[in-house]
């Protein structure tokens, strides 16, 4: 029997069913390999271990030839493989528990593996969106909000703009076809902001005129 940890959601990725006039335009999640590369720096870790293995193998070769090189270098190869396995496991868990949603009114982010949080960002509260893409089409869309809303870097990570710790910016990290998603957000935001905001206010008692 299959088990869905988020079966309680009325709509996938959203804590409650959206209003009738609100339409879901796109949903997605981070690409596992891109997340491992950009958030967990798997490339840098590989380079580091390659240097360590080469150094230890060189020391072993100088002492006992090929057998010494294998004996000195092999344990660090094992450590590198273990580190890669841990990184890909974490990246897979984060990717599978994340759902990014773009509707006609907002950007929603359901994030967190152990502690699930849903972040709702209405278009009227988004000041700008910055897009960074890679050659394979994956990319990150960082969102800058209006006002003095502050976000916790520890809670959002890795769903935030890299390198911006003091002013944390929520981000759709490592999503496939990021340019197309950015266009969807831009068009939806433009349409939403073009709609007038109607506020209902009660007229003062003195302005009420009795009907005859």
67 CB burial (10 A radius; 0-12, 13-18, 19+): exposed
Residue 69's pLDDT is what? 86
- pLDDT value of position 210: 44
Summarised one tens digit per residue, pLDDT across range 114-172 is: 788 999 999 999 999 999 999 999 999 999 998 777 888 888 999 999 877 778 899 99
pLDDT at 93: 95
Contact 117, 81 (CB under 8 A): no
Stretches where the chain sits below pLDDT 50 are: 1-3, 208-212
Alpha helices in the chain (DSSP H): 32-38, 42-96, 153-156, 178-194
Sign of the torsion angle spanned by Cα atoms 78, 84, 90, 95? negative
The residue written with tokens 């949903």 in the block is: 27
Model-level pTM?
Answer: 0.83
Q: What pLDDT, on the 0 to 100 scale, is given for residue 208?
A: 45
Return the pLDDT at 196. 62
């Amino acid at each position: 029997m299959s088990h869905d940890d988020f079966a309680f959601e009325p709509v996938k990725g959203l804590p409650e069913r959206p209003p009738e006039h609100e339409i879901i335009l796109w949903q997605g999640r981070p690409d596992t390999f891109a997340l491992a590369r950009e958030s967990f720096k798997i490339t840098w870790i590989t380079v580091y271990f390659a240097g360590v293995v080469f150094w230890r193998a060189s020391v072993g070769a100088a002492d006992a030839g090929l057998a010494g090189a294998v004996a000195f270098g092999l344990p660090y190869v094992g450590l590198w493989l273990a580190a890669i396995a841990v990184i890909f496991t974490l990246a897979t868990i984060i990717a599978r528990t994340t759902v990014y949603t773009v509707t006609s009114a907002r950007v929603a982010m359901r994030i967190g593996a152990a502690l699930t949080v849903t972040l709702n960002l209405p278009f009227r509260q988004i000041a700008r969106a910055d897009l960074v893409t890679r050659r394979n089409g994956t990319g990150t869309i960082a969102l800058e909000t209006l006002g003095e809303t502050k976000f916790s870097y520890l809670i959002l990570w890795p769903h935030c703009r890299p390198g911006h710790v003091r002013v944390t910016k929520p981000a759709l990290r490592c999503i496939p076809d990021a340019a197309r998603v950015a266009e969807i957000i831009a068009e939806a935001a433009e349409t939403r902001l073009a709609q007038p905001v109607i506020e209902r206010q009660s007229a003062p008692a003195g302005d009420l005129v009795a009907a005859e």
